[in-house]
Structure 1
């Protein structure tokens, strides 16, 4: 759900900006900042690289298992807290104000690190420091593009607060009450009783957020996504055959499905070959980046839907 968090926040904030009549540049800028704040909580997964390094030399499944088992030691705790989110958003907003404001931001960052130390010890500090630094950097970017502090706070808060709710569909629920000893959500939200259908539904939800972001870009710029999608996106339907080859995906074993279905998106980068009607012989025309991205996204969407239908039929 890494991409989905950013796409959702971008769609919400950018969509509101477009609805309020902001210019395309301004609307897309605040949308991107919201996406940045929404992705920021997952900086804590960087600690998982420790586990990957320890498992170096193993196969792909071993490395993936090491990544998540190590990362989950600190994942979805301090950086996913609804209690601390307003303070982090305020920190980002203060970075672009006066010298006194920047000093207050530094003091607030130090306080957040101290809270993490008290609640989680050194391991909490390891993830809180890059979290705080990342928020400060995003605040600096917002200041550079001329976004006033109140709007930085609002955009940051939307991104940070929306993130934990997206995680309710995958893995263990985040510690949204951290550092308080309070459990807001105790169990994962099940989208289907069948674990494979649950994974497919969660993947579909992420695709939906990405398409929502595309629609916001279209509303802001006048882009018509349909005109940029090449017919070869329908090749994704062939992925249905992989239901016989790829292990039924679940949250515990999603990698074969996720990596292979994302690979379908490479069809978007395929060049267009013209053989007929070219006086100088066959020509090869590489797609522009927009056509490549939207065609690839469309192919992945078709592949996901085809696999889901095939799974229901075969299963």
Structure 2
């Protein structure tokens, strides 16, 4: 596994997102035991970058990751997030990046993860009620206390990134980026490269759509959150299958899977990009990591670059409303 630097932090070029291990996708499928085996297999294959958040569950995903990395903490770069859970009574889904909330959040995450420090600590969503300068200032205090090593932002807009970076270097931005979500290319990627900030794309497989295995919304269980995603709905779903079909065609040319093509395309976009595909299956983590060895020709990359954009917003209205622009 190749390694790259994101804002000075060395990580495996492909990481592992843990969110799907605690619900969200086909809720109820899989087990904690299988998820822990998946984390261990990723470690064995050279993955060092693992991503979770206090809101996943909430809490239970961090607890799961904590159990999985016990005894192997020194092998990994551990990332988690705060700010989508208010500890002052608001609870899950309430934006809160006030200094008091961050201090409560970090202590809870450290305990659940079974560690004395977090390598990369992200603000999960920008809190319009708290100046970003105050949020970053609190994180700087946590660095001084040894609880946090590097600072990250998730779904932050260009102006917020500049203001945050002026207080203390931001190591990484986490935002959705894939063959069907190309938005970051216009403003975000140039800005990150100007400032020396690494890019951690989440959902690099389009929430599973780019694997080519979901051909109908009916394949998703009723409690799968993707049922609320506009791109998985009705006519949008049918039109978006054209993207998958082109990815499949490229995959057939190089004897790879569509998921591997989607990841290889993303890796080809730059040495400062470290995607975190999520899975709770050993076979899937093996498949994803193999993309690190895949080479696409210039012509194949150009074909993929020119795919028709996905139809529909990338999140439902409620989730889009809390994304900083």
TM-score of the pair, normalised by structure 2: 0.26
Higher relative contact order (CA 8 A, sep 6+): 2
Between Structure 1 and Structure 2, which shows a larger proportion of helix residues? Answer: 1
Q: Whose radius of gyration is greater, 1 or 2?
A: 1
Between Structure 1 and Structure 2, which shows a larger proportion of strand residues? Answer: 2
